[in-house]
């Protein structure tokens, strides 16, 4: 095998006329010779025209090397051979002598190539090449044409030539004059299609050509149809990826199945375009048609709807009309028939059993089928994690991670006869505390899961931190689930339960939770005892039912009353928790909890801080389509007439008549968890976080709100204080909003906004 070294030798040192005689005469067939006879004059004509002198041998070598491809041979001879020779010679002449060369001359040594180079490489092993092999060392470029080594078997050449001839014959009538050198070049190179050159390599090549052919402008042989119209609208990607929360919200029913369906739609969407929001969806037109037909009860309306759809100018975004409903009155009429609803956030230390407990709750309330659990069990067992089967109901996280989507807040629903529940499964890891704050700030209450066997680890870790944060975002009601009592020693040991309860209650009290708003429930998510069902009277857990309700009963007890008519009538305020593609038919959707007011399909709303308006195209609450929604609901709103870049988590959707103000200065009453100075902080308000600084320490206060000291230099941990904050950016905030101040990954204060200014 030949070895090539990239050494810049001068060509005349490597080639000689004798050395070029590597194509033995006997290696050519009669056809090869005919080809040479036909093609050499063509190449020569091209080279003469370009003023490139070449020998017949060089032309033949090039033709042989390029499988009779005249174009390539000419290009090779033009570009690589003659000009380089000229250039290098010129270079050689101009080249100034290096210090090394001057020193060599001074030393009056023997001539340059014979001695200096030899000296330089003396002792290098590969220089000990027998003299008869020296001619084999060739530079990498140009590659000397070699018979057979390049695949130039006469069979291949024959095949190529036959094809060329056939193709040339077929093209004969349309062929221009042979005197036209350019066209003759074309003609001659035509059969040298790459295919022929790669034919001996049977692997990946055919695929490549199939793809290329698809893109070929050649019209299809039968009934050519115009390609589908490209989407006109070019929308950039959203800042926020569709999260588990978003997907769960937009699922039509159930939890896990809905999530899957959503994931599939995302995938379908991404295969259509590089941006999830790029272009109008063809389904939009169909859906709008159905909706328009439903809404219309007269011929005139139907005709109008059809007119709208047939207008090509706006096929994907027909105007969404409001039905002009009096939502507050409708809600008031319906409220007696409405079930209570409650959203709870699940908090607690890693591995204390949060997901398993929620999976159990969903299974035992019928929100998830036993079939699904069995499926998860099978999958989990295959991975050697059989005990995680229930947790997998909640654990959309791993699936999300596999798909490269950021895990955020997962949402699941279940219902009892009296209450519709929403589980907000906030990420527990300390790195995701901002997301946990966002999740907790949408909840009515919290479920704190504590492993009865691992209280210590929790107290040192997230149990303590999550309690602090739950209180900081304003949650007042909290259920402590003392979990894994099936695995205490002995199982269902009352003493262990009591001591764990006492510890946690102490911490909750210190944090500010009141006794009447806290309940402690013994349970086991894995076995299901005292989750949705009371333990059997014969079991070791029989004592539980005598003293405690089940977890589900306790959640129903803590479920809040329905929102008030006053809140429903207030201006709309919804902080965006997530922005996502709700599906092919709904390319732009948001989710979040309505803090106040109401909204209906067709409403125009304002998004702050961008100040942009959007139209509500559709509403879903708990996976069901609705015409309207009110405060305390956690709807998905499908939007039109807005660009996605104007929608971010933390922005506020508000009434266009009374939009929320965008402010940069706030005064807040806070509880310090660490020392506070005038300093940089991150301000978190639900899903919103903005950098800023404490500009003034106004005063410290006692528990009754009386001023202790004005303009303190420092606020110590545990003290209450009024502080002023200057934010780096204008953000939509209002009096009464709950804020959390963090710095360097730690929460240093929490409180409530007292006043705002621009
Ligand atoms: N014996 C027993 N094991 C449980 C119980 N609940 C959960 N486990 C086990 O504890 C482990 C962790 O459970 P998860 O539900 O994933 O815990 P988690 O708190 O959601 O964990 P993270 O999501 O990582 O924070 C699993 O192996 C479960 O099978 C229980 O009630 N009893």
The domain spanning residue 551 has which CATH number? 3.40.50.300
Ligand 1 site-directed mutation target among 244, 357, 360, 391, most atoms within 8 Å of CB? 391
Residue 230 has pLDDT above 80, yes or no: no
Q: What DSSP element (H or E) covers 32?
A: helix 30-50
Mean pLDDT (whole number) for 337-364: 90
Radius of gyration of the chain (CA): 39
**pLDDT 10s digits, 577-599:** 888 876 777 788 999 999 999 99
Q: Same domain for 368 and 495? A: yes
Q: Is 107 left (phi over 0), alpha (psi -120 to 50) or beta?
A: alpha
Ligand 1 within 6 A of 428 CB?
Answer: yes
Contact by Cβ (8 Å): 575, 592? yes
Q: Is 524 in the pocket of ligand 1 (CB under 6 A)?
A: yes
**Whole-angstrom distance, CA of residue 270 vs CA of residue 739:** 37
pLDDT at 721 over 90: yes
With a CB cutoff of 8 Å and minimum separation 6, the contacts of 349 are 428, 450, 451, 454, 457, 458, 461, 462, 463, 466
H helix or E strand, kind and range, residue 681? strand 680-685
Residue 348 CA to ligand 1 centre (angstroms): 11
The answer as to whether 296 is a domain residue is: no
Beta bridge partners of 654: 573, 606
Establish if 129 belongs to a structural domain.
no
pLDDT band at 334 (very low <50, low <70, confident <90, very high): confident
pLDDT score, position 651: 96
542 and 600 share a domain?
no
> Where in the sequence is the domain holding 619, given as residue range(s)?
568-655
**CA 703, chain centre distance (Å):** 46
Mean pLDDT over 341-359 rounds to 90
| pLDDT band at residue 526 under the 50/70/90 scheme | very high
> Residue 187: pLDDT above 60?
no
For residue 249, pLDDT beyond 60: no
Phi, psi of 552 (to 5 degrees): -65, -45
Question: Does one domain contain both 463 and 495?
Answer: yes
* pLDDT number for residue 397: 52
Q: Is the ipTM of this complex over 0.95?
A: yes
Residue 485 Cα to ligand 1 midpoint, Å, equals 12
Q: Same structural domain for residues 647 and 668?
A: no
329-343, 542-556, 699-713: segment of lowest average pLDDT: 329-343
Strand partners, 626: 619
Rounded average pLDDT over 642-663: 94
> Domain total for the chain?
4
If you write DSSP's letter for every residue of 279-299 in order, what string do you get? S--HHHHHHHHHHHHHH--SH
pLDDT top residue among 355 and 402: 355
Cβ–Cβ < 8 Å for 565, 397:
no
Indicate whether residue 541 lines ligand 1 (CB < 6 A). no
Q: Is residue 169 part of a domain?
A: no
3-state secondary structure of 119: helix
Query: Measuring CA to CA, which residue among 617, 615, 625, 570 is closest to residue 595?
Result: 570
How far does residue 350's CA lie from ligand 1's centre (Å)?
9
Check whether 207 has a pLDDT greater than 70.
Answer: no
DSSP at 367: S
Ligand 1 atom, smallest distance to 387 CA: 29
- Residue where one domain finishes, among candidates 655, 679, 704: 655
Judge if 535 and 389 occupy the same domain. yes
pLDDT of residue 80 exceeding 50, the answer is: yes
380 with 479, same domain: the answer is yes
Out of 179-183, 214-218, 298-302, 716-720, least confident range: 214-218
530 lines ligand 1 (CB under 6 A): no
- Residue 596 CB contacts under 8 Å (≥ 6 apart), including other chains: 567, 568, 570, 571, 572, 573, 631
Q: Is residue 382 part of a domain?
A: yes
Whether the CB of 462 sits within 6 Å of ligand 1: no
Nearest to 347 by CA among 475, 230, 245: 475
Using the atom order of ligand 1, give the atom closest to the CA of residue 352.
Answer: 19
Instruction: Report CA(434)–ligand 1 centroid distance (Å).
Output: 23
pLDDT for residue 386 = 75
Which of 655, 671, 692 is where one domain is finished?
655
583 and 673 assigned to the same domain? no
Q: Is residue 305 part of a domain?
A: no
Distance (Å, rounded) from C-alpha 551 to C-alpha 724? 42
Which of these, 465, 446, 464, 447, lies nearest to 455 by C-alpha position?
A: 464
Residue carrying the six token digits 């409708």: 330
Q: Which of residues 749 and 288 earns the better pLDDT score? A: 749
Q: How far is the CA of 386 from the centre of ligand 1 (A)?
A: 11
Last residue of a domain, one of 504, 528, 558: 558
Asked if the structure places residue 638 within a domain, the reply is yes
Q: Is the dihedral of CA 429, 430, 434, 437 positive or negative?
A: positive
Which of 253-262, 319-328, 488-497, 548-557 is predicted with the least confidence, judged by mean pLDDT?
253-262
Residue whose Cα lies nearest atom 32 of ligand 1: it is 484
How many angstroms does the Cα of residue 689 sit away from the middle of ligand 1? 31
Residue having the nearest C-alpha atom to atom 27 of ligand 1: 387
Looking up residue 702, the CATH number of its domain turns out to be 2.40.30.10
Q: How far apart are CA 751 and CA 588, in angstroms?
A: 34
Residues 537 and 593 both lie in one domain: no
Q: Which atom of ligand 1 is nearest to the CA of 358?
A: 15
pLDDT of residue 716: 96
Q: Out of 155-159, 293-297, 434-438, give the one with best mean pLDDT.
A: 434-438
- pLDDT given at position 121: 44
| Tens-place pLDDT, residues 126-141 | 444 444 444 444 444 4
Asked which of 180-189, 391-400, 663-672 is least confident by mean pLDDT, the reply is: 180-189
| DSSP structure class, residue 308 | H
Pocket test for ligand 1, best of 353, 428, 463 (most atoms within 8 A of CB): 353
Same domain, residue pair 552 and 573: no
Buried b (16+ CB within 10 A) or exposed e, 99-137: eeeeebeeeeeeeeeeebeeeeeeeeeeeeeeeeeeeee
d(CA 48, CA 42) in angstroms, rounded, equals 10
CA distance 440 to 466: 10
Backbone φ and ψ for 99, nearest 5 degrees, come out as: -60, -35
Per DSSP, 246 falls in state H
Average pLDDT over residues 10-31: 48
The CA distances from residue 456 to 428, 503, 540, 706, in Å, are 17, 10, 25, 38
**Which DSSP state fits 114?**
I
Which tens digits make up the pLDDT trace of 536-571?
988 889 999 999 999 999 999 999 877 889 999 999
| Residue 392 Cβ contacting ligand 1 at under 6 Å | no
Answer whether residue 60 is part of any domain: yes
| pLDDT value of position 167 | 58
More confident site: 275 or 603: 603
Q: Is 491 in the pocket of ligand 1 (CB under 6 A)?
A: no
Of residues 667 and 317, more confidence is placed in 667
Would you give the end-to-end CA distance of the chain in angstroms?
A: 79
Same domain for 416 and 548: yes
Token representation of residue 290: 């159905």
Return the SS3 of 420. Answer: strand
Instruction: Report yes or no on 270 lying in a domain.
Output: no
- CA 72 to ligand 1 centroid distance, Å: 69
Relative orientation angle of helices 494-511 and 462-472, to the nearest 10 degrees: 40
Q: Is the pLDDT of residue 198 over 50?
A: no
At 467, the pLDDT band (50, 70, 90 cuts) reads very high
pLDDT of residue 582: 67
- For the Cβ of 686 lying below 6 angstroms from any atom of ligand 1, the answer is no
Q: Tell me what the mean pLDDT of segment 656-672 comes to.
A: 96
CB 664 within 8 A of CB 724: no
Res 662: pLDDT: 96
The residue among 443, 407, 396, 451 whose CA lies nearest residue 424 is 443
Does one domain contain both 355 and 442? yes
Task: Please work out whether the CB of residue 351 comes within 6 Å of at least one atom of ligand 1.
Answer: yes
DSSP 430-487: GGGHHHHHHHHTT-SEEEEEEETT-HHHHHHTHHHHHHHHHHHTT--EEEEEEE-GGG
97-105 LR contacts (CB < 8 Å, sep 24+): none
Q: Is residue 487 in contact with ligand 1, taking CB distance under 6 Å?
A: yes
**What is the structure's pLDDT at 350?**
81
Angstrom distance (rounded) from CA 196 to CA 157: 9
The structure tokens listed for 579 are: 């922005």
In the predicted structure, residue 212 carries a pLDDT above the cut 80:
no
Nearest to 408 by CA among 472, 345, 341, 479: 345
Alpha-carbon span 652 to 593, nearest angstrom: 10
Which has the higher per-residue pLDDT, 457 or 10?
457
Q: Does 627 lie in the same domain as 589?
A: yes
Ligand 1 pocket test, candidate residues 357, 454, 526, 535, most atoms within 8 A of CB: 526
The pLDDT of residue 251 is 40
Confidence band of 430 (pLDDT split at 50, 70, 90): low
How open is the CA angle 25-29-30, to the nearest 5 degrees?
110
Mean pLDDT of the chain, nearest integer: 72
Burial 553-572 (b: 16+ CB within 10 A, else e): bbbbebbeebbeeebbbbeb
């Amino acid at each position: 095998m030949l070895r090539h070294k990239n050494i810049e030798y001068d060509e005349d040192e490597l080639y000689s006329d004798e050395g070029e005689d590597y194509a033995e005469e006997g290696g050519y067939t009669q056809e090869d010779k005919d080809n040479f006879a036909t093609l050499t004059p063509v190449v020569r004509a091209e080279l003469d025209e370009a003023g490139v002198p070449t020998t017949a041998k060089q032309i033949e070598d090039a033709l042989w090397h390029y499988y009779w491809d005249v174009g390539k041979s000419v290009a090779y001879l033009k570009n690589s051979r003659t000009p380089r020779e000229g250039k290098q010679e010129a270079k050689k002449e101009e080249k100034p002598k290096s210090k090394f060369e001057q020193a060599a001359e001074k030393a009056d040594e023997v001539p340059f190539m014979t001695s200096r180079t030899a000296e330089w490489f003396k002792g290098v092993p590969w220089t000990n090449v027998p003299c008869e092999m020296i001619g084999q060392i060739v530079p990498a470029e140009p590659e000397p044409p070699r018979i057979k080594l390049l695949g130039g078997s006469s069979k291949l050449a024959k095949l190529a030539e036959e094809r060329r001839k056939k193709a040339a014959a077929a093209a004969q009538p349309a062929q221009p004059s042979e005197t036209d050198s350019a066209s003759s070049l074309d003609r001659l190179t035509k059969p040298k299609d790459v295919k022929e050159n790669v034919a001996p390599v049977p692997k990946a090549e055919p695929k490549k050509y199939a793809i290329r052919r698809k893109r070929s402008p050649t019209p299809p042989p039968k009934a050519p149809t115009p390609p589908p119209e490209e989407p006109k609208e070019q929308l950039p990607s959203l800042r926020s990826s569709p999260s588990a929360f978003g997907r769960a919200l937009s699922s039509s029913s159930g939890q896990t199945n809905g999530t899957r369906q959503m994931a599939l739609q995302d995938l379908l969407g991404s295969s259509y375009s590089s941006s999830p929001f790029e272009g109008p969806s063809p389904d939009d037109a169909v859906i709008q048609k159905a909706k328009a037909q439903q809404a219309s009860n007269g011929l005139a309306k139907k005709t109008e709807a059809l007119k709208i759809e047939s207008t090509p100018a706006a096929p994907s975004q027909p105007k969404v009309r409001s039905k002009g409903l009096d939502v507050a009155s409708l809600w008031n009429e319906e409220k007696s028939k409405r079930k209570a609803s409650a959203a709870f956030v699940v908090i607690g230390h890693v591995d204390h059993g949060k997901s398993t407990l929620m999976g159990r709750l969903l299974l035992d309330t019928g929100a998830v089928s036993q079939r699904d659990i069995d499926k998860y069990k099978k999958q989990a067992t295959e991975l050697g994690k059989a005990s995680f089967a229930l947790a997998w109901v909640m654990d959309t996280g791993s699936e999300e991670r596999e798909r490269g989507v950021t895990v955020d807040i997962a949402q699941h629903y279940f219902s009892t006869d009296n209450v519709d529940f929403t589980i907000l499964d906030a990420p527990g890891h300390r790195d995701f505390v901002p997301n946990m704050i966002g999740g907790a700030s949408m909840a009515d209450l919290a479920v704190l899961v504590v492993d009865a066997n691992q209280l210590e680890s929790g107290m040192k870790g997230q149990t303590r931190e999550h309690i602090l944060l739950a209180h900081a975002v304003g949650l007042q009601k909290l259920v402590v689930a003392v979990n894994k009592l099936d695995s205490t020693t002995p199982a269902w040991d009352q003493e262990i339960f009591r001591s764990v309860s006492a510890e946690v209650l102490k911490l909750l009290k210190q944090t500010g939770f009141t006794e009447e708003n806290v309940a402690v429930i013994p349970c086991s998510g894995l076995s299901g005892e005292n989750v949705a069902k009371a333990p059997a009277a014969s079991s070791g857990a029989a004592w539980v039912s005598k003293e405690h309700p089940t977890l589900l009963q306790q959640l129903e007890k803590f479920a809040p009353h329905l929102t008030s008519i006053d809140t429903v009538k207030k201006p709309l305020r919804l902080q965006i928790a997530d922005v996502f593609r709700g599906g092919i038919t709904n390319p732009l959707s948001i989710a979040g909890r309505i803090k106040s007011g109401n909204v209906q399909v067709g409403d125009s709303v304002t998004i702050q801080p961008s100040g942009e308006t959007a139209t509500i195209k559709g509403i879903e609450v708990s996976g069901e389509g609705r015409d309207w929604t009110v405060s305390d609901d956690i709807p998905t709103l499908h939007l039109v007439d807005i660009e996605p870049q104007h929608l971010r988590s933390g922005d506020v959707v508000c009434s266009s008549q009374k939009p929320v103000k965008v402010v940069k200065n706030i005064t807040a009453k806070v509880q310090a968890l660490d020392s506070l100075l005038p300093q940089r902080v991150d301000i978190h308000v639900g899903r919103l976080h903005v950098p800023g600084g404490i500009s003034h320490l106004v005063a410290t206060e006692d528990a009754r709100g009386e001023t202790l000291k004005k303009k303190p230099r420092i606020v110590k941990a545990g003290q209450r204080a009024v502080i002023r904050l200057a934010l780096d950016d204008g953000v939509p905030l209002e009096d009464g909003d709950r804020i959390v101040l963090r710095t360097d990954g730690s929460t240093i204060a929490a409180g409530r906004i007292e006043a705002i200014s621009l």
